[in-house]
Amino acid sequence: MTTQLTIRRPDDWHLHLRDGEMLKGILPSTSAHFGRAIIMPNLVPPVVTKADAEAYHDRIRAAIPADHTFEPLMTLYLTEDTNPDDLQAAADSGLIKAVKLYPAGATTNSQSGVRNFSKIAPVLERMAEIGLPLCVHGEVTDSDVDIFDREAVFIDRVLEPLRNHHKDLRVIMEHITTKDGVDYAKQGGENLAATITTHHLIINRNDILAGGIKPHFYCLPVAKREEHRLALRAAAVSGSDRFFLGTDSAPHNDDNKLCACGCAGIFTAINTMSCLAHVFEEEAALDKLEAFTSLNGPKFYNLPANSERMTLIKRDKPTIFPKQIITGAGNVTVFDPGFKSHWDATLTADCRNN
């Protein structure tokens, strides 16, 4: 029985860090484990220009604890008015590593997203030219489409036509939640990949709705039926380089989660690695964990894997995590996976600054 595993330090290819007091409060949960993260730009107002991304990058760097090393990989929020030259300048300078597409109205702070996809064609052409990946929130927003079908419909109505039109565009399907997403990512060729969250490997829609409503399991895209969760698990543990970790850890304070119209988002940054080791062990695939968390992502983004290492140790007693992170912007409830993971993740000493 494996009780210890050393892997390359992981990265998080989809993360919400927010700003101000929330940023300060939750960033250490990520930087304690992850070497880098793709930082989502859905602030209010969103991170739209190179100047916005520079300023946000500085604020994030200022919030990194002195004894942690962490590199925020910035993104721009794609709008119908995005200027291709500004975007290219941000990419050429090395500041941004991707651009995020939110269909308008799809999720938290997506009001400035895209309504008319023909308007973004010039930007997508430029991105294809310079090899800058597009991170896609893949859900249609039409009110006549059932929320549980929105990902599958997006693939047919939006993603397939968009990729046919921009054949060289590199696309990452963010936080896929369905078998349809897995199947589409598999057949997409070398320009297509998909991120999978920790929580979508663990919960299905019954966990949200059966036996009482659980606001802390509500996120977007919403968790689907069990057959979809199983398809995601199979993809994550397959070792296929099309799939890698993007936690979509998305903190909201409890006041905003526990109310009549609660926010979408699950906070998993602090216990993701422990939960994933448990999941991969359940699937008899601990040998594939490193590919999922530490190798496949950098490969798609054309970045080197981290040189530092993380050791995961299976202890006799379950690993204890705080139930909440207390921040200056309110309390954030930590994802409860519904099992006790005995896996404890620590970085080797040489990952730290001192």
Helix (H) or strand (E) holding 62: helix 50-63
- Indicate which of ligand NCD, Zn ion, none lies near residue 264 (CB less than 5 to 8 Å, by partner kind): ligand NCD
Residue 19 falls in the annotated catalytic set: no
**Beta carbons of 313 and 4 less than 8 angstroms apart:** yes
Of 67 and 146, CB closest to ligand NCD: 146
Q: CB 113 → ligand NCD: shortest distance, Å?
A: 11
Scored b (16 or more CB within 10 A) or e, 183-205 reads ebbeebeebbbbbbbbbbbbbbb
Q: Does 42 bind ligand NCD (CB under 6 A)?
A: yes
Q: How many angstroms separate the CA atoms of 103 and 139, rounded?
A: 7
What stretches of 145-250 show up as alpha helix (H) in DSSP?
A: 150-154, 160-165, 179-186, 205-209, 226-237
Q: Does 248 bind ligand NCD (CB under 6 A)?
A: yes
Q: Does 181 bind ligand NCD (CB under 6 A)?
A: no
Q: CB 221 → ligand NCD: shortest distance, Å?
A: 7
* Residues of this chain, 206-225, that bind ligand NCD according to CB under 6 A: 219-220
- Indicate which of ligand NCD, Zn ion, none lies near residue 107 (CB less than 5 to 8 Å, by partner kind): ligand NCD
* Length of the chain measured in residues: 354
Residues in the interface with Zn ion (CB under 5 A) total 1
C-alpha pair distances (Å), 164 with each of 117, 156, 157 = 13, 11, 12
- Indicate which of Zn ion, ligand NCD, none lies near residue 220 (CB less than 5 to 8 Å, by partner kind): ligand NCD
Q: CB 31 → Zn ion: shortest distance, Å?
A: 18
Q: Does 264 bind ligand NCD (CB under 6 A)?
A: yes
Q: Does 140 bind ligand NCD (CB under 6 A)?
A: no
The dihedral over CA atoms of 27, 28, 33, 39, expressed in degrees to the nearest 10, equals 10
Q: How many angstroms separate the CA atoms of 15 and 267, rounded?
A: 10
Q: CB 283 → ligand NCD: shortest distance, Å?
A: 24
Q: CB 239 → ligand NCD: shortest distance, Å?
A: 26
Q: How many angstroms separate the CA atoms of 222 and 244, rounded?
A: 19
What is the full DSSP assignment across 22-48? HHHHHHHHHHTT-SEEEEP---SS---
Q: Does 150 bind ligand NCD (CB under 6 A)?
A: no
Q: Does 16 bind ligand NCD (CB under 6 A)?
A: yes
Q: Does 139 bind Zn ion (CB under 5 A)?
A: no
Of 174 and 290, CB closest to ligand NCD: 174
> Which of 8, 57, 137, 233 lies at the binding interface for ligand NCD (CB under 6 A)?
137
Q: Which of 12, 180, 207, 248 is catalytic?
A: 248
Q: How many angstroms separate the CA atoms of 348 and 308, rounded?
A: 7
**Beta carbons of 2 and 314 less than 8 angstroms apart:** yes
What is the full DSSP assignment across 233-274? HHHHHT--TTEEE---B----HHHHSSTTPPP-BB-TTTHHH
Q: Does 36 bind ligand NCD (CB under 6 A)?
A: no
Binding site for Zn ion (CB under 5 A): 248
Binding site for ligand NCD (CB under 6 A): 16, 42, 107-108, 137, 219-220, 248, 250, 264-265
Q: Return the active site residues.
A: 248
